[in-house]
Amino acid sequence: MTNTEKELEDLRTEISKLDSSIVQLLDSRAAIAKKVGDVKQKLGRPIIDRVHEQKVYERISTEKLEYLTKSQIQAIFKEIVAGCRAVQSGKKRVAFLGPRGTFSDQAAKQYFSETEADFIIVKKISDVFRQVISEEAGYGVVPVENSTNGSVPITLDLLLESDLKVVGEIIIRIKHNLIALKEIPLSEIKTLLSKDQAIGQCRRFIEENLPNAEIIETKSTARAVEILTEYDNSVAIGTKLAAEIYNRTIISKGIEDNQNNFTRFFVIGHEESLSTGSDKTSIVFSVKHVPGALLNALKSFSSRNINLTKLESRPSRLTPWEYYFYTDFEGHVSEDHVQEALQDLKKSTLYIKILGSYKSSK
């Protein structure tokens, strides 16, 4: 080993020792933050205190630094504060569109385990956003698009209008089951209950096996499973989770016409997600009303070999004949080539908003 190589090794050893000290200090900070959270609960105060957090950022910005910039230190401390805030609150609070036993329920519990989260069930997608905006919930899970039926307009509109970030995604295969109170021959079934979309997605099975059954539409597949007791010789189309929740029997599995039907959900929150190396970014933009404007905008990505995974237009709710383009692409907003693409994109757009970067759900 040369003297230079030994010097490098010694420096790395020194950094490792500092890293260990930093980790221990962070853990000590978290322990005190937990005590602060306990006191806040006794006083009936909210866990999140944006005014105090801003004072923390301002205070650390006054420290004399030789190498790191103030913005770099603030970015580091935002992650530290977010971590300590999570320690204070204990379990995460996650809102999703109910009732229990829906695909939204399934998506929420796939992303957040029940041991780490308390779930808040709401009646409307807009309520999910309200819960997170008001900080009653730390995160929300909302459907954003279905591979067969397309995007969920209200979710796209609310993402545009709110300051919340997309911090994760979940993709669920839509698998429908025929559910009853107990085993029953198909020939004896008199009534079929479910949500209109689920009924439409199982049309072939219904026509071949339940041609004479009365069809009753419900607000959700889970609701159909829940009210089976109200109808004689009835069945419902619903999820495996709903059957488990309401103690029902699945008499036919996977009755959907299309085996490749998926629904994509976004996880929304206040904090931006860190890069994982396998990320997507979602943005929305509008272009100038000149020939070739959209093509020029998209060149910002193609010229840097950035793969677009979604491009969809949606009319503005405020300005007639103006359209927004919702775009997903591979990469994280913190990456240099992505930042370059977004800076280039600004030159040919009237408006651009970064909805968030998040780990891609393969």
Cα–Cα distance between 222 and 234 in angstroms, integer? Answer: 14
Same domain, 277 and 355: yes
**Domain containing residue 217:** 177-252
Specify the pTM: 0.73
Going through 85-233 in order, the beta strands assigned E by DSSP cover 92-97, 117-122, 139-146, 150-151, 165-173, 177-180, 191-194, 214-217
CATH number, domain with residue 298: 3.30.70.260
Do the Cβ atoms of 156 and 143 come closer than 8 Å?
no
Is 169 within the bounds of a domain? Answer: no
Q: Which of the listed residues 59, 81, 103 is the one where a domain comes to its end?
A: 81
Report pLDDT for 251: 97
Is 57 within the bounds of a domain? Answer: yes
Is 145 within the bounds of a domain? Answer: no
Domains in the chain, number? 3
Same domain, 236 and 315: no
Is 25 within the bounds of a domain? Answer: no
Is 94 within the bounds of a domain? Answer: no
Same domain, 246 and 280: no
Going through 191-287 in order, the beta strands assigned E by DSSP cover 191-194, 214-217, 234-238, 249-252, 262-269, 279-287
Report pLDDT for 292: 87
Report pLDDT for 49: 82
Is 222 within the bounds of a domain? Answer: yes
Report pLDDT for 42: 84
Handedness of CA 224, 132, 87, 71 (dihedral sign): positive
Going across the sheet that includes 234-238, the strands are 214-217, 191-194, 234-238, 177-180, 249-252
pLDDT along the chain (362 residues), means of 10: 88 94 94 89 82 89 89 86 78 90 94 83 96 92 92 95 96 96 96 94 96 95 96 96 95 94 96 92 92 91 96 87 93 95 93 96 80
3-state secondary structure 152-167: CHHHHHHHHHCCCEEE
Is 319 within the bounds of a domain? Answer: yes
Report pLDDT for 289: 81
DSSP state of 83: H
Is 184 within the bounds of a domain? Answer: yes
Report pLDDT for 17: 94
